[in-house]
Amino acid sequence: MNSFYNSYLLIITFFIIALSLPILSLSIGKWLRPPSKEGGRGVSYESGIEPFHDSRIQFSPQYYLFALLFVIFDIEVIFLFPWAVAYGKLGMFALIEMLIFTFMLCFGLIYAWKKKVLEWM
């Protein structure tokens, strides 16, 4: 039972160190660097050339929908890969669950196709 708590203590210690090191390094960097005297912090900068027009352009919302669909189906692969590796040990229940998961994603893809989300302008 003692090793059980030791493993959790190790995870908690790692979590605390993983959170404190970036916070500590960013705080030290903020305190040590000189204050910025220039007001051009928000100006875009490329190759040492001053911008001659506004660099902020509007993207079509369809781009974001397409990217969202990509992320959803990319995450599907993350769930399918471990299932495929452990398929022999999981049995019929896991097969049915994965088929339901895949069919739900296929129905979502068909819905997006019918709503013309996949058509580019």
Return the structure tokens found at 116: 């013309």
Question: Does the residue 4 lie in any domain?
Answer: yes
**Shared domain check, 105 and 69:** yes
Tell whether 65 and 117 lie within a shared domain.
yes
Q: What is the pLDDT of residue 80?
A: 87
Please report how many Cα atoms fall inside a 13 Å half-sphere around the Cα of residue 88, on the Cβ side: 1
Residue at 67 is within a domain: yes
Helix-helix angle 61-85:92-114, to 10 degrees: 170
Tell me how long the chain is.
Answer: 121
**In the block, residue with structure tokens 């708590």:** 5
Task: Region of 45 please: left (phi>0), alpha (psi -120 to 50) or beta.
Answer: beta
> Within this chain, do residues 64 and 119 fall inside the same structural domain, yes or no?
yes
Burial (CB count <10 Å: 0-12, 13-18, 19+), residue 44: exposed
pLDDT score at 26? 94
- Domain boundaries, position 115: 60-121
**pLDDT at 121 (0 to 100):** 65
Is the residue at 113 inside a domain?
Answer: yes
Say if residue 69 is in the same domain as residue 106.
Answer: yes
**Together in a domain, 69 and 120:** yes
Instruction: Give a yes or no: residue 51 inside a domain.
Output: no
Q: How far apart are the C-alpha atoms of 74 and 80, rounded to whole Å?
A: 10
pLDDT at 48: 66
Question: How many domains is the chain partitioned into structurally?
Answer: 2
Per-residue pLDDT, 51: 65
pLDDT of residue 27: 94
Asked if residues 101 and 79 have their Cβ atoms less than 8 Å apart, the reply is: yes
**Does residue 45 lie in a domain region?**
no
Nearest residue to 72 (alpha-carbon basis) of 121, 120, 107: 107
Query: Does the residue 38 lie in any domain?
Result: no
At residue 12, the pLDDT reads 93
Evaluate whether residue 69 is within a structural domain: yes
CA distance 35 to 23: 19
Beta bridge partners of residue 49, listed in sequence order: 46
Per-residue pLDDT 10s for the chain (121 aa) are 577 777 888 899 999 999 999 999 999 998 998 877 766 666 666 666 666 666 677 777 778 888 888 888 888 888 888 888 888 888 888 889 999 999 998 998 899 889 887 787 6
Do 121 and 64 belong together in one domain?
Answer: yes
Q: Does a structural domain hold residue 7?
A: yes
